[in-house]
A and B are shown apart, each in its own frame.
Chain A
Amino acid sequence: MAAHGKKERMFERLTVSQRIQHVVLFVSTSLLIITGFMLMGERWAIDMFGSAGDSIFYWRGIIHRVAGVAVTVVCIYHIGYVFISKEGRSWILDMLPNLKDGSDAVQNVRYMLGFRKDRPAMDRFTYLEKLEYFSVWFGMFIVIVTGTMMWTEQYWPKFYLDVADAFHLGEATLAALAIIVGHIFSVHYNPHVYPMNKAFIDGKISESLMKEEHPLWLERELAKLEEENENAPEGKQEDA
Chain B
Amino acid sequence: MRKTWTWVTILIGVVLMIIGYFGSAPWGAAGVRNSDPRFSFAPALFVVGVVIAFSAALVYELLPRRRR
Same complex origin of A and B: no
Chain B interface residues (CB < 8 Å from chain A): none
